[in-house]
Each structure stands twice: as C-alpha cells, then as structure tokens.
Amino acid sequence: MALLDGKIALITGGSRGIGAALVRAFHGAGAKVAFTYRSSAGPAEALVGELGENVRAYQSDASDYAGAEQLIKTVTEEMGGLNVLVNNAGITRDTLMLRMNEEQWDSVLDNNLKSVFNLTKHAMRGMMRGGGSIINMSSIVGIQGNAGQANYAASKAGIIGFSKSIAKEMGSRNLRCNVIAPGFIETDMTDELPEQVKQSYLATIPLKRLGRPEEIADACIFLASDMSSYVNGQVLSVDGGLS
C-alpha cells in the first residue's frame, strides 16, 4: 500500500520546479492530485499528460481571495474531497531595501503570504470534517534572512508564524499544519546563478551540494502521510545542514 493511498491533495504552483516534483511524488505515492498554475499552461498540460489518471491542473491565482474560494470548491467537487493542501506557490522580487519599491514589496507578500491565508481559509472548513494535513512552503531565508530579499524573507517568516497559529487552532479537529523550509535547491532560479555565486553557497552547506526538488517532495510526503500523525506546528528544514 502506497503512503498516500486514498488521499486527495491540492498543490499550488505545481507546474514547474519544486511544485512539479511534488505533483509527481504525490501521484507516485498513490494520491489523487490537483495542482494549480498561473501562466505556465504548457508545462501544466505536459505534466498532466505525463502522469495521466488522477491528476488535474487548474489555472488559478493564489493571491486572489475569491479565486481561491472558487478553486477549493471546484477541486473538492471534481476530485471528491480534500485531505492535503500544499501551499507552494510563490515569487521573488529581489533587490536591496534602499531600492525596493512598494510594488515589489506588495507583490511578494500577496503571492507568498496572502496566498497561504487565502487557500487555508477556504480549505480548512471542509478538511477539518475528516482531518488532514496543511503543508506550507517557507524557506531558509524566512529563518535566517538574506540581503536583498527583505520582502521574500518577511513573507516566508510570516508563513512560519501563521502555520504555528493554525496548528494550535485546528489541532483539536485533527487538522495538522506544518512547514517545510527548503535551503538552496536545484531549480530554474539556481540554474541562472553565476558559477561563482553557486560556489559561495556550496561553501556554506555542510553536505556540499544543492538539494534536489525530489528531496523537498519526500519531506512533504512524510508530512502528508499518516506517518506524521503526531507532527503538528513544526518547521522541517531541508537544507543540507545549512541552518
């Protein structure tokens, strides 16, 4: 029996990078998987074509409150329920604070933090009837901060405080809420970094390599499964020992 047999999961930002790895892993673990994309229709359709049965893609903007409400309603009706929510969607607008403008601040907070509120708010009422797991994607930057990423760090730190609060509010309903905090992971974003920058990152990581999206997915599988049934309100850093 696969770890997520009988589970129905919704993963936001699932068409590329870590999100796509999550979709593949959850499907491989036996879950029925819905995932969202905002503009990457091609990769989303390709992923559905690759995995086939029990995987559906939905175009949605997680930062839109009403849109999130409609998404949860549609997914619940079409997939037959919802047991696991993974809030993975997010963006960066990196620049030093002296240069950061209001739009760069607001867009990151809306897409990274408000989106988590939106999806959690609309999903939790239905999920708490049968229990379930909410997994929110933070970052090592939300724990340690990073120059040039004050907006991103604030959004990811906010996710941690939000998640710990939800864990306390909903634990009595058997609805758990935990956080994954990835370190430096091999994605399109890190592929574009100059080699010198990559080497400077590697020098600070005890395992001396970048993480793989699949390693983030493995941690999420654990938190989504019944193996973590007594894990609630925790931050799991997947960062090669960086933190």
Weakest mean pLDDT among 17-21, 31-35, 190-194: 190-194
CATH 3.40.30.10 fits 8-230, yes or no: no
**Residues designated as active site:** 152
Tell me the pLDDT band of 19, cut-offs 50, 70 and 90. Answer: very high
Q: What is the mean pLDDT of residues 94-109?
A: 98
Report pLDDT for 200: 86
The whole-angstrom separation of Cα 138 and Cα 73 is 25
Report pLDDT for 162: 98
Note whether 40 and 16 are within 8 A (CB). Answer: yes
Binding-site residues from annotation? 13-16, 88, 152-156, 185
**In what helix (H) or strand (E) does residue 8 lie, and over which residues does it extend?**
strand 8-11
Tell me the pLDDT band of 201, cut-offs 50, 70 and 90. Answer: confident
- Listed residue (77, 71, 73) closest to 57, CA to CA: 71
- N-to-C CA span, the chain: 35
Tokens of 22: 């999550």
The whole-angstrom separation of Cα 3 and Cα 231 is 16
Answer yes or no: pTM beyond 0.85.
Answer: yes
Mean pLDDT rounded to a whole number for the chain: 95
Note whether 167 and 233 are within 8 A (CB). Answer: yes
Tell me the pLDDT band of 9, cut-offs 50, 70 and 90. Answer: very high
Q: What is the mean pLDDT of residues 224-234?
A: 98
- Listed residue (201, 211, 150) closest to 180, CA to CA: 211
The whole-angstrom separation of Cα 48 and Cα 24 is 10
Weakest mean pLDDT among 26-40, 169-183, 191-205, 218-232: 191-205
Buried b (16+ CB within 10 A) or exposed e, 164-176: bebbeebeeeebb
Q: What is the mean pLDDT of residues 223-242?
A: 97
Binding-site residues from annotation for NADP(+)? 13-16, 88, 152-156, 185
Tell me the pLDDT band of 154, cut-offs 50, 70 and 90. Answer: very high
User: Is pLDDT larger for residue 191 or for residue 81?
Assistant: 81
DSSP letter assigned to residue 173 = G
For the cut 90, the answer to whether the pLDDT of residue 36 exceeds it is yes
Tokens of 212: 């793989």
Tell me the pLDDT band of 188, cut-offs 50, 70 and 90. Answer: confident
What is the CA angle 139-82-180, rounded to 5? 15
Tell me the pLDDT band of 237, cut-offs 50, 70 and 90. Answer: very high
Q: What is the mean pLDDT of residues 181-200?
A: 84
Report pLDDT for 195: 85
Q: What is the mean pLDDT of residues 198-222?
A: 94
